[in-house]
Amino acid sequence: MKRFKLGNNLQLSQIIYGMWRLGDDSNTTPAHVQAKIEACLEQGITSFDQADIYGDYASEKLLGEALRAAPQLRERMEIITKCDIMLLSEHYPQRKVKHYDTSAEHIKASVENSLTNMAVDSIDLLLLHRPDPLMNHLETGAALDELVSSGKVRGVGVSNFKPYDWALLSSAMNTPLLTNQIELSLLHSEPLVDGTVADLQRQGLHPMAWSPLAGGALFSGDDTATATLRNALTQIAGEQSVDITAVAVAWLLKHPAGILPVMGTNNLERIRALASATRVELSREQWFILYEAARGCEVA
Amino acid sequence: MKRFKLGNNLQLSQIIYGMWRLGDDSNTTPAHVQAKIEACLEQGITSFDQADIYGDYASEKLLGEALRAAPQLRERMEIITKCDIMLLSEHYPQRKVKHYDTSAEHIKASVENSLTNMAVDSIDLLLLHRPDPLMNHLETGAALDELVSSGKVRGVGVSNFKPYDWALLSSAMNTPLLTNQIELSLLHSEPLVDGTVADLQRQGLHPMAWSPLAGGALFSGDDTATATLRNALTQIAGEQSVDITAVAVAWLLKHPAGILPVMGTNNLERIRALASATRVELSREQWFILYEAARGCEVA
Amino acid sequence: MKRFKLGNNLQLSQIIYGMWRLGDDSNTTPAHVQAKIEACLEQGITSFDQADIYGDYASEKLLGEALRAAPQLRERMEIITKCDIMLLSEHYPQRKVKHYDTSAEHIKASVENSLTNMAVDSIDLLLLHRPDPLMNHLETGAALDELVSSGKVRGVGVSNFKPYDWALLSSAMNTPLLTNQIELSLLHSEPLVDGTVADLQRQGLHPMAWSPLAGGALFSGDDTATATLRNALTQIAGEQSVDITAVAVAWLLKHPAGILPVMGTNNLERIRALASATRVELSREQWFILYEAARGCEVA
């Protein structure tokens, strides 16, 4: 499994295990969570993606229970979590509207909460989950810098930011932003051509990709374009003896920016197969065959 | 009334009185214009927004008549005006098409004209009214610089510019551009998320907002979304004993960039209430309740 | 004919003769190609635009045959060519999909091929034809730099790039990018207001315009807007005793960025008239009359 440097103090595995559905599993015992983590580690997948809000504020706690039961796992893992989305939830009955909060007060409280939930001393990578139209970049940037200098957070990044959001927050920070986790897949490939990826690539940074399988739409979509794409994926998958998931992820791995896809599944068998994407060899022509099938037309 | 620094030599009141409809009033006597100005000044509204073209080239003259009648007002005011739109008008019968003119010759002539019209020695802030696709940035930038060094204009900005228009003009000027007056309101909030405001905020600059009440659409719009928004505004207005205008403007004032809304009304009672927006306290949740009502959906 | 400097070592004539349809002519003999070149040179049109793929990989060879027959022409010409599009073609039967290739290997091979095809020792200006979503900017930039230092290419630019594509590739090059050849015409004028031209203008660079007559749509389009535009063009053309082609091109020439339109026609009479566009004087109002006719509405 390839590993990428994000800044000076952090390395992540190219494939990242996403824990947003940890609580959807019928088995949420610490032992079962531990089994999932170990299935990842055995393949070199050492990076795990969380957010305060995942599972209606429950996923971090499920990870925390597993780490309390098997504390030796922690040092073999890089843990990513996020903050700033304020979800409507029965855990916050006084909340009136879904919103964002990038105030220093909220970010710091959210990090403390995440540390407690996950039973860890520090977060390897903290991401702002969404750009906040009310962000006071000076306040937010200073809060993030402080979290890094306190050691509670080893590195900071963002998610779903556009280049100008990035430029705004960066301008107010001493700590460099390390990554931008964006929606990116064959069925959502605009960031490859709208400047979002180019802006990171220019800075030598690695984008993270959420929904690298387009939330399953690659498999279930029944329109002609998706069916054509599925056929193209199936043919390559057959040639390389992998499933089409691996080919769809390999399409992202082929990109020279060094994209880190976040893969989430609760099925242990599928977890054990996550690394297979790294063994797929796509030629440049195969990459464009998939790209054009997904776009529904050839390139200009 | 909060005041904001724009560059080293200019301070504006956060709420700016807009004079684009000065000539629409049934009473356009100098005494009545003076009464409006004094109603503003009493509330700390010291900044007044004009343009050469307002009122079909008549508004600047109405202000000028008032200032001739009451010259003591001038030193208590900051006067903003604009140039570069060439309106089809009976005052310019030879003109064949509405167009823009950012030539040095036109900008300088327009400023001279505005000085005469308004009976002032200098303009506090001159804005290019619209980005001109034929702008020769070297010529335009030099002309603006010259107007500043001559003292005829104390500061320069733009209106309706995108970040790349701004970068182009800035690159050719010694004088810094001080602000960008853009359309911004609950019903036109894209500049908050498309980089226009972020680009100013990063530079520590304050956007001005025109049509902060969406040209009245907030009040008259009868679609469901606008009705929902009006209900949300009405509820907050009731709680804080102000009218919904004040709440809609307070929504802009809450933004950390320090937005300066340009408010225009000929009604003396309403003029006397303009500052009430500054007394509204919106919580972050209330801000998002209004934002989501206006968008018609919750944030992502 | 005005000439523009692109970097320190290259000057182009403002009007460029486009050779993409050289093979569509009924007469493709070296003598006839030579006659076309000479008709250009007589008007001061010294710059000629090619691409590896033009005429299904045949146009460069037609030029090469003419230069072998009349080698004295070469030193009076600047030759532009392009690479990176991989066309589906019977010349490449093994190719499965139209795609782009910005690998060092392909770019260098493509240049060698172009040199052989055109029977020249060096290319005056090499353009990447399309932004490649798989571009490894470090590899591509180094390959382009090498081509310049080897002398095989005198200057490098791009085509159809957006500002962020440009920033990405530039960041990895020692050689400056000299131009961006974009689609630009009265019927495709967005680049004048979406930042594409502004970004070049800010850097003091001259855009090249492909399809400056909108691929003939200016003449054949039968919708109301195009008919209105044609009427406006016809009126000005009548006043200045030129054809409407010259007026449409003059509309581009009026822009302060110094746009270089690429004009392609196989008709010798029309070739002999290409320079007439440079003699058209458009006033600012005429420019906006054409702009607004093409947009279908007046400016804001």
What average pLDDT score do residues C143-151 get? 98
Q: Percentage of chain C with pLDDT > 90?
A: 96
Q: Give dist(CA B201, CA B5) in Å, integer.
A: 14
**Closest-CA distance of chain B to residue A111, Å:** 20
Q: Enter the tokens of residue C294.
A: 């093409």
Question: Among residues of chain B, what percentage have pLDDT more than 70?
Answer: 100
Q: Do the chains contact at A130 and B300, CB–CB below 8 Å?
A: yes
Cross-strand partners of C13: C3
Nearest to C256 among B101, B130, B135 (CB): B135
Average pLDDT of span B156-181: 98
Q: Do B137 and C163 touch (CB under 8 A)?
A: no
* Reported confidence tier of residue C259, pLDDT bands at 50, 70, 90: very high
- pLDDT tens digits for A229-284? 999 999 999 999 999 999 999 999 999 999 999 999 999 999 999 999 999 999 99
Residue C157: its pLDDT value, please?
A: 98
Q: According to the model, what pLDDT value does residue C149 have?
A: 98
Q: Which sign does the torsion angle of CA B179, B183, B186, B190 carry? A: negative
Residues of B with catalytic annotation?
54
pLDDT band at A104; cut points 50, 70, 90: very high
A258: left (phi over 0), alpha (psi -120 to 50) or beta: left
Q: Do the Cβ atoms of C285 and B97 come within 8 Å? A: yes
- The DSSP secondary-structure symbol of C287 reads H
Q: How far is CA C251 from CA A5, B295, C51, C231, C277, in A?
A: 51, 40, 26, 15, 9
- Residue A185: predicted pLDDT: 98
Indicate which of C188, C194, C201, C298 best probes the interface with B, i.e. most B CBs within 10 Å of its own CB.
C201
Identity of the amino acid at B284: R
Q: Write down which chains contact chain A via at least 3 CB pairs under 8 A.
A: B, C
Nearest CB to B162; choose among C189, C195, C255: C195
- Please give the interface size between A and C, counted as residue pairs whose CB atoms are below 8 Å apart: 59
Neighbours of B, requiring at least 3 CB pairs below 8 Å, are: A, C
DSSP code at position A50: -
- What's the average model confidence in pLDDT over C292-297? 94
Instruction: Please give the residue of chain C at the shortest CA–CA distance from B106.
Output: C284
Q: In this complex, which of B98, B131, B164 lies closest to C298 when CB atoms are compared?
A: B98
Distance separating alpha carbons of residues B32 and B9, to the nearest angstrom: 30
Please state the φ and ψ torsions of residue C67, each to the nearest 5 degrees: -70, -30
Closest-CA distance of chain B to residue C185, Å: 13
Catalytic residue numbers of C read 54
- Dihedral sign, CA of A154, A158, A163, A169? negative
Residue pLDDT, tens place only, C9-61: 999 999 999 999 999 999 999 999 999 999 999 999 999 999 999 999 999 99
Nearest to A212 by CA among A263, A173, A172: A263
CB C28 within 8 A of CB C230: no
Q: For the residues of A149-198, what is the DSSP string, one character each? A: HTTSBS-EEEES--HHHHHHHHTT-SSPEEEEEEE-BTTB-GGGTSSHHH
**A98 lies within 8 A of chain B by CB:** yes
**Mean pLDDT, range C240-266, rounded to an integer:** 97
CA closest to C163 among chain B residues: B164
- Across B235-241, average pLDDT: 95
Task: Please answer yes or no on whether A133 and B300 come within 8 Å at the CB atom.
Answer: no
Confidence of residue C237 (pLDDT cuts 50, 70, 90): very high
Which residue, among A90, A92, A93, has the nearest Cα to A110 in the 3D structure?
A92
Token duo for residue A139: 């306040």
CB within 8 Å of chain A, chain B residues 248-277? 254-256
Answer yes or no: is pLDDT of A161 > 90: yes
Yes or no, beta carbons of C299 and B99 under 8 Å apart: yes
Share of chain A above pLDDT 90, in %: 96
Is A96 in Cβ contact with B289 (below 8 Å)?
A: yes
Mean of the per-residue pLDDT values of chain C: 97
Residue A222, pLDDT > 90, answer no
Confidence of residue B224 (pLDDT cuts 50, 70, 90): confident
Query: Is pLDDT of C283 > 90?
Result: yes
Cβ contacts of B168 on chain C, cutoff 8 Å: 198-199, 201-202
Q: Which residue has the tokens 């000629």?
A: C48
Pick the residue from chain A with its C-alpha nearest to C172: A202
Report how far Cα C205 is from the mean position of its chain's Cα atoms: 15
3-state helix, strand, coil in chain A (%, to 5): 45, 15, 40
Are A201 and C96 inside 8 Å of each other by CB?
Answer: no
Residues of A acting as catalytic residues = 54
- What percent of chain B is predicted at pLDDT more than 90? 96
Count interface pairs B-C at CB distance under 8 A: 59
Q: Give how far A77 is from chain C: nearest CA, Å.
A: 30
Closest Cα in chain A, distance from residue C21 (Å): 18
HSE-CB at A73 with a 13 A cutoff on CA atoms is: 29
pLDDT at C216 over 90: no
If one counts every other C-beta atom within 10 angstroms of the C-beta of residue B139, the result is 16
A285 touches chain C (CB under 8 A): yes
**Residues A202-216: what's their mean pLDDT?**
96
Q: Does C93 touch chain A (CB under 8 A)?
A: no
List, as one string, the DSSP characters of B147-194: HHHTTSBS-EEEES--HHHHHHHHTT-SSPEEEEEEE-BTTB-GGGTS
In this predicted structure, what is the pLDDT of residue B191? 98
pLDDT of amino acid B142: 98
Q: Which residues 150-179 on chain C approach chain A with CB closer than 8 angstroms?
A: 160, 162-165, 167-168, 171
Burial per residue of B87-105, b for 16 or more beta-carbon CB atoms within 10 angstroms, e otherwise:
eeeeeeeeeebbbbbbbbe
Select from C179, C187, C183 the least CA-distant residue to C207. C179
**Average pLDDT value for chain A:** 97
Element (H, E) at C208: strand C208-210
- Going by C-alpha positions, the residue among C144, C150, C140 that lies closest to residue C175 is C144
pLDDT digit string, tens, across residues C151-199? 999 999 999 999 999 999 999 999 999 999 999 999 999 999 999 999 9
Compute the distance between CA of residue B47 and CA of residue B264 in angstroms, rounded to an integer.
Answer: 12
Kindly identify which residue of chain C lies nearest to residue B96, measuring between CA atoms.
C285
Considering only CA atoms, give the Rg of chain B: 19
pLDDT at B148 over 90: yes
Region of C258 (left: φ > 0; alpha: ψ -120 to 50; beta: rest) is left
Instruction: Report pLDDT for C212.
Output: 97
Tens of pLDDT, residue by residue over C70-86, are: 999 999 999 999 999 99
pLDDT tens by residue, A111-150:
999 999 999 999 999 999 999 999 999 999 999 999 999 9
Per-residue pLDDT tens for B248-272?
A: 999 999 999 999 999 999 999 999 9
Of A189, A256, A298, Cβ closest to residue C98:
A298
CB of A99 less than 8 A from some CB of B: yes
Distance CA C58, CA C40 (A): 21
- At residue B218, the pLDDT reads 87
Q: What Rg value do the Cα atoms of chain A yield, rounded?
A: 19
CA distance A292 to chain C (A): 9
The tens digit of pLDDT for each residue in B85-143 reads 999 999 999 999 999 999 999 999 999 999 999 999 999 999 999 999 999 999 999 99
DSSP A61-97: HHHHHHHHH-GGGGGG-EEEEEE-EE---TTSTT--S
Under DSSP, the state recorded for C249 is: H
DSSP string, chain B: --EEEETTTEEEESSEEE-TTGGGSS---HHHHHHHHHHHHHTT--EEE--TTHHHHTHHHHHHHHHHH-GGGGGG-EEEEEE-EE---TTSTT--S-EE---HHHHHHHHHHHHHHHT-S-BSEEEE-S--TT--HHHHHHHHHHHHHTTSBS-EEEES--HHHHHHHHTT-SSPEEEEEEE-BTTB-GGGTSSHHHHHHHTT-PPEEESTTGGGHHHH--SHHHHHHHHHHHHHHHHHTS-HHHHHHHHHHTSTT--EEEE----HHHHHTGGGGGG----HHHHHHHHHHHHTS---
Domains in chain A with CATH codes: 3-214+256-278 (3.20.20.100)
With contacts defined as CB-CB under 8 Å, which chain A residues touch C171? 202
Of A99, A164, A171, the CB nearest to B284: A99
> Using 50, 70 and 90 to split pLDDT, how confident is the model at A220?
confident
Is the ipTM reported for this complex over the cut 0.90?
yes
Task: Enter the pTM of the model.
Answer: 0.97
| Partner residue opposite A133 with nearest CB, options B163, B192, B199 | B192
Interface check C103 vs A, CB under 8 A:
yes
Task: Measure in Å the smallest separation between the Cα of B164 and chain C Cα atoms.
Answer: 5
Q: Does C289 touch chain B (CB under 8 A)?
A: yes
- Cβ contact C202–B168 (<8 Å): yes
Q: Do C168 and A256 touch (CB under 8 A)?
A: no
- Nearest Cβ partner of B134 from C195, C199, C284? C284
Angstrom distance (rounded) from CA C147 to CA C154: 8
For B139, name the nearest residue in chain C, comparing CA atoms only. Answer: C256
With both helix axes pointing from N to C terminus, report the angle between A104-118 and A137-149 in degrees, rounded to the nearest 10: 30
